[in-house]
Amino acid sequence: MITVIGSLNMDLVVQMNAFPKQGETILGHAFQTVPGGKGANQSVAAARLGSDVAMIGCVGQDSFGETLCAGLQQEQVNTDAIVHSATAPTGIANILIYNQDNRIVVVPGANYELAPTHIEASKELIQKSQMVIIQLEIPKETTAYAIQLCKEAGVPILLNPAPAANFDKQWMKDIAYLTPNETECAEIFNEPIDQLLEKYPNKLIITLGSDGARYFDGIFPVHIPGYMTTAVDTTGAGDTFNGALAYALVEGQSLDEAVYFANLAASLSVEKFSAQGGMPTLGEVYARMAGTGE
């Protein structure tokens, strides 16, 4: 079983023909509400591949929270450990899109109400997990508590350091895998990539978008190429990668196999609109794998 500790947001997506200037009101031409939040996205990614997934997070007592939880349940994600805050609304991301550019405002809301006490209340769930996935869109002290609890229980952690500003380098000794992209890696470490990879063999996996991912296997540097495809919406590609990587590792695949599998899953995810909309099933990943000749 995989347990995901992280954020749940409702994405409010507005498409327009121009960004408004200060004080200006304009007309948009499309609006959608789309389930999001890195925690929820990674839960869906792993569950759609067939993992037994539980989600720990916090939403408000509002319609957005109800919709997000119902959507996870439809994906067979266990939502029993999701807290419903009486004091904060469900988190939202207001996304303005114009000419393939976007501007995003995130209001964390109830995500920042997830406390160490909520992690402690889910201790048994975490202890029986085969892997825990964590991102950084929740309070830093809650992340630290979850890492300590997992360490005591001997449960491996896959940590996706987004946003990178919330990462504490002291956590490196206690996690099994860290999956930053190149920008996040530079913000966290400010060291040459090759040197970093050798410093954290089989732990630091740097994602490169369509170029795949890199890590160091203890002897040689490894580059797992990406799969070239025509992208419709790259939102959620990283979340798909992380959910798929956790799935593959829990299923007993080697790190090399798991990263390759996660790359294929991510390539499928960008071919449809929205973060969760394109996340593939296991059958779809194997179909793409067969098409590559692997």
Residue 54 burial class via C-beta count within 10 angstroms: exposed 0-12, middle 13-18, buried 19 and up: buried
- How far is CA 23 from its chain centroid? 35
- Assign 40 a pLDDT band (cuts: 50, 70, 90): very high
Examine the pLDDT at 12 and tell me if it is beyond 70: yes
Would you say the pTM of this structure is higher than 0.75?
A: yes
pLDDT mean over 70-92: 97
pLDDT mean over 162-189: 95
For residue 137, say whether it is annotated as part of any ligand binding site: yes
pLDDT mean over 12-28: 91
- Pairing mode of beta strands 131-134, 157-159: parallel
For residue 140, say whether it is annotated as part of any ligand binding site: no
C-alpha 135/C-alpha 67 separation (Å) is: 22
pLDDT tens for each residue of 221-239: 999 998 877 777 767 788 9
For residue 124, say whether it is annotated as part of any ligand binding site: no
Cis check for the bond before 163: say yes or no (omega within 30 of 0). Answer: yes
Helix (H) or strand (E) holding 43: helix 38-48
Residue with tokens 């950084």: 136
Q: Is 102 helix (H, G, I), strand (E, B) or coil?
A: strand
Question: Structurally, what CATH architecture does the domain formed by 1-6+42-89+108-288 represent?
Answer: 3-Layer(aba) Sandwich (3.40)
Token pair for residue 240? 């798909």
pLDDT tens for each residue of 125-150: 999 999 999 999 999 999 999 999 99
The predicted structure's pLDDT at residue 272: 77
Q: Over the Cα atoms of the chain, what is R_g?
A: 19
For the chain, give the mean pLDDT.
93
Examine the pLDDT at 291 and tell me if it is beyond 70: yes
Residue with tokens 């304009």: 26
Residue ranges per structural domain of the chain: 1-6+42-89+108-288
For residue 287, say whether it is annotated as part of any ligand binding site: no
C-alpha 166/C-alpha 38 separation (Å) is: 14
Catalytic residues: 239
Higher pLDDT, 32 or 101: 32
The predicted structure's pLDDT at residue 294: 54
